[in-house]
Structure 1
Amino acid sequence: MMQTCEKTTWLFTGQRNTTETLFENGKIHQAARNKSDRLSVTANCSLVIKKVSVEDVGLYICRQFDASGRDQGSDSNVHLSVVNISEQKNSDETILICSVLTYGGCSHTVKWLNDNKDAENIKINPPQSACSASVSFPTSPHVLTSKRSEVFRCQVKPDSGDMKEFTFRISPLRDKPGENMMSCLQ
């Protein structure tokens, strides 16, 4: 760890609106012990979070101090959001939900896309909220009789920034009728 990071502090404010110190005096703070195995700081004092989860959604604040311990000016704020794709299965229908979990208000547009123009069984539902969209399709016979994978793409676009796409593939299992395999790829 470089000497310069000894004068860097990283703070986190999450969904519970409490602020905790993550990094201070050149090391991961004791208060962050529940996630210390996932946190590190690079030589340029950037915070690295491994295995990001829903609990990590929030506001991250970087504060730097001079040699005398005085705040060097304005804080650097980073908002971390998480894209979550979940599946709900009823006896005859599968629903995929793509949602963005944010700290504070949501400023993302979320929508599902499917390139299979012949799939009349697939219903791309209107967004349920500003940060969530769903797609539904019959669990059977659509998935079970399909000879190829069905690919859905969830597009997430913040008000400012680049659009991201997350691909969700549904593949029939040929050796086990009545089951299907799902995977999420970025």
Structure 2
Amino acid sequence: MADKCYIHLLGLISIYYFTGTSGEEVINVFCSDGLNVTLLCGDAPPDCRSTMWIYNKDNKTGVDLFTKGIKQMDHKRVSLGSYCSLNIYKTTIEDHGLYTCRQLNTDPYTDVNVYLHVLHVSLSSTQTEIKAGRNVTLSCQLYFFDGYDCEGLLHEDGFQIIWVNEFDVNLQSVSRYQISSSTEHCNSSLTTTLLNEDNNRELRCQIIKGTEVKTSDRYTVKYLVQKHN
């Protein structure tokens, strides 16, 4: 897996621009759990002396990350990049939310609102053994800003959550996989009975639009090797 999550890296991250109702610039960013991501700040001055970054997870009071280029809290995984972009190192599901880049040198000030959506695949907490003959259930969750509408994101904007194998075969059409999705909770689950040949098999959950992969997270099946005396 690549160790950076910039927009030019083969679909690991994708950015979409549109204009909000009040004229702010709005950006949607899709990234996978564990990757580095850079959030752009529009036409920010390079010295960042008039730039703020504000983080908001749940439509409540925001947290100041940077004010006039100075870090406001002890957050080791965030830093400023070129033209006041915000770098997040090893993104986690806790990083999802709204990031606002605010320029204080204009009257009124101008905002760029960046929504960071984080994709994460996990094994069901009820799984006790991973081996041939056992059922396995994987959950693929898209974590997003609490004030965002997943139904609109996935349907109105044309995005989909799908499962594929390491050969990019869509598993929706493979009968041995049972897949169910919920736009209310922005997730998709996959259940299958494991076969002998599934050891080391990679299952991927992807966010796509049309034929383009926007981001992807994966789970590799690992069987416990029995030791013989």
Per the normalisation by structure 2, the TM-score is 0.60
1:85 equivalenced with 2:121 (yes/no): yes
1:13 equivalenced with 2:56 (yes/no): yes
Give the structure 2 partner of residue 22 of structure 1: 65
Alpha-carbon distance between aligned partners in 2 of 1:49 and 1:41, rounded to the nearest angstrom: 9
* Corresponding residue to 1:76 among 112, 118, 123: 112
Determine which structure has greater relative contact order: mean sequence separation of CA pairs < 8 Å that are 6+ residues apart, divided by chain length: 2
How do 1:143-162 residues align onto structure 2 when only pairs under 5 Å count? Answer: 145-146=196-197, 149-157=200-208
Report the 3-state secondary structure (helix = DSSP H, G, I; strand = E; otherwise coil) of the residue aligned with 1:125.
Answer: strand
Deviation at 1:101, TM superposition (A): 0.6
Give the structure 2 partner of residue 56 of structure 1: 95
How do 1:25-44 residues align onto structure 2 when only pairs under 5 Å count? Answer: 25-29=68-72, 32-33=73-74, 36-44=75-83
Deviation at 1:49, TM superposition (A): 1.0
Of the two, which has the highest radius of gyration? 1
Identical counterparts, % of pairs: 25
When the two chains are superposed, the root-mean-square deviation of aligned CA atoms in Å is 3.0
1:95 equivalenced with 2:137 (yes/no): yes
Give the structure 2 partner of residue 177 of structure 1: 226
Give the structure 2 partner of residue 45 of structure 1: 84
CA contact (8 A) 1:39 1:49 kept: yes
Per the normalisation by structure 1, the TM-score is 0.72
Deviation at 1:60, TM superposition (A): 0.6
- Gapped regions of structure 1 (runs ≥ 5): 179-186
1:127 equivalenced with 2:163 (yes/no): no
Alpha-carbon distance between aligned partners in 2 of 1:158 and 1:147, rounded to the nearest angstrom: 28
Structure 1 window deviating more from structure 2 (74-83 vs 129-138): it is 129-138
